[in-house]
């Protein structure tokens, strides 16, 4: 009998990595079923509430959300609202805001989690590792000393998603009220 607590990465925002994860079902799943939207999760997420879409901050042309398949706790993504695949298709305004939100996310994550490093990046195209290659997204992965040591151990059954709502709440509350960089 299949264990309903285990889900594959089909149909969720983020970058599917093939691992199954142990979690309590998230409302995002139901939202997707109700709307019948089986298309792009990065286009779908902003249509619902911040809680359902795990959205941390909504900018003018781009937004910040948690990756449902985090490499580390606090792994966020910055996406343009527009459905464009590659970085060179982004407008100057999108490039500027994605950069700005990336900087703010780093500061918020550092403040909230005490991380001491980051991996930033965009995988462009399936061949380059993009899980959802049709919609541009920038990864921001907080890093701590020695986190690489436990990552392979917990990767198979991460009990993360119950915590995703809490992480979203924490980051959203710590997000500065002004987005103007100093």
User: Which residues are known catalytic residues?
Assistant: 137
Give CA–CA dist 55/76, Å, rounded.
9
The one among 43, 61, 84, 106 contacting Zn ion by CB under 5 A: 43
Residue 83 binds Zn ion, judged by CB under 5 A: yes
Instruction: List the one residue from 21, 26, 135, 168 that touches Zn ion (CB under 5 A).
Output: 135
Distance CA(102)–CA(110), nearest Å, equals: 12
Q: Does 112 participate in binding Zn ion (rule CB under 5 A)?
A: no
Pair of tokens at residue 176: 């500065």
Q: How far is the CB of 81 from Zn ion (least distance, A)?
A: 9
* Residue 40 binds Zn ion, judged by CB under 5 A: yes
12 sits near Zn ion (criterion: CB under 5 A): no
User: Which CB sits closer to Zn ion, 84 or 106?
Assistant: 84
Q: Per CB under 5 A, does 84 bind Zn ion?
A: no
**Which span sits near Zn ion by CB under 5 A: 53-61, 76-84, 89-97, 113-121?**
76-84
Listed ranges 9-17, 41-49, 138-146, 152-160: which one lies at the site for Zn ion (CB under 5 A): 41-49
- Per-residue HEC secondary structure of 102-146 comes to HHHHHHHHHHHHCCCEEEEECCCCHHHCCCCCCCCCEEEEEECCC
CA–CA dist 57, 73 (Å, integer)? 17
Nearest to 136 by CA among 178, 174, 179, 99: 99
* Interface positions with Zn ion (CB under 5 A): 40, 42-43, 83, 135
């Amino acid at each position: 009998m299949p264990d309903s607590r285990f889900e594959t990465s089909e149909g969720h925002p983020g970058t599917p990595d093939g691992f199954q994860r142990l979690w309590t079902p998230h409302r995002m799943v139901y939202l997707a079923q109700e709307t019948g939207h089986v298309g792009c999760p990065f286009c779908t997420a902003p249509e619902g509430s911040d809680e359902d879409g795990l959205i941390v901050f909504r900018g003018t042309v781009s937004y910040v959300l948690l990756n449902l398949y985090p490499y580390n706790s606090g792994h966020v993504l910055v996406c343009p609202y527009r459905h464009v695949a590659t970085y060179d298709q982004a407008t100057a305004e999108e490039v500027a805001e994605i950069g700005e939100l990336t900087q703010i996310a780093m500061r918020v994550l550092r403040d909230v989690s005490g991380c001491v490093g980051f991996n930033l990046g965009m995988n462009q195209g399936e061949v380059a590792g993009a899980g959802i290659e049709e919609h541009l997204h920038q990864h921001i992965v907080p890093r701590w000393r020695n986190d690489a040591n436990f990552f392979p151990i917990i990767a198979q059954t991460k009990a993360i998603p119950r915590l995703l709502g809490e992480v979203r709440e924490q980051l959203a509350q710590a997000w500065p009220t002004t987005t103007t960089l100093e």
